[in-house]
Homo-oligomer: A and B are copies of this chain.
Amino acid sequence: MTAPDPETDPEAGTPPADAAPARRHAAGADPAKRAQILEGAARAFLEKGFDAASMEDVRRAAGVSKGTIYVYFADKVELFEALVADKRDRMFADVISLLEEDLPLRAKLTRFGEALSRVLCSEDVIRAQRIVIGAVARMPGMGERFYRVGPSRMHDRLAALFEAEVAAGRLAVPDARMAAVQFIELVSAGVWRRRLFCGPHAGVEEAEIVRTVASAVELLLRAWGRGEARQGLDD
């Protein structure tokens, strides 16, 4: 389901780490060192951005030598792309899994919406998105992969859910994918975009997220909810 996309998985092609209990890894093939570098890179890039962070910053944060970084990654761009690929997958998997839970529609949408909104608008993730967006001009492939693995996959899952609900007679959406896209937009309506452009506004956000998601759910159900899904809507 979240099997690594060979095109985007930088580890593809390296011998399986456990093939032999070798004491020594081939050049650039020690997964622990690779992870260590990525961790340092994450710290350095998140703090300063892609251009402003120097390879020296990365080296210092990772605690390895510069030469080693270049054994594992061909250049700064490849390191950054690998880093994004790495974080990306982790980030979205958890949120998507919320859609698999067995809950009433309204509750499921609410939990999913809040989780997604919290993640997307958290300081670190906002910074990461800013950096990725800012780098799209120079690394177009990376942006597209990010979108495909993240938002786009989310749209697919949610659309499938909506189709099931339509089949079950609890929703009357004429276009499940459009509705899914709209819902995902609505759960961070006003918050995500603002956070992208503005610094964090001291702590107000959790309440805002709850309110925004509730409003998104209500808007959706009021427009397209049927049967039990309309319960509690003062019509």
- Chain A positions near chain B (C-beta within 8 angstroms): 47-52, 127, 130-138, 140, 143-144, 146-147, 151-152, 155, 175, 178, 181-182, 184-186, 189-190, 193-194, 196-199, 211-212, 215-216, 218-220, 222-224
Decide: A130 near B127, CB < 8 A? Known: A144-B199, A190-B181.
no
Q: Is the CB of B133 within 8 A of A198?
A: no
Bound-state CA distance A147–B184 (Å) is 21
* A–B pairs, 11, beta carbons within 8 Å: A133-B196, A134-B135, A136-B197, A136-B199, A147-B194, A151-B197, A182-B186, A182-B190, A185-B193, A218-B223, A219-B219
Bound-state CA distance A212–B199 (Å) is 30
Q: Is the CB of A215 within 8 A of B178?
A: yes
- Across the interface, which residues of B come within 8 angstroms of A190, CB to CB? 155, 178, 181-182, 184-185
Cross-chain contact of A130 among B50, B134, B220 (Cβ < 8 A): B134
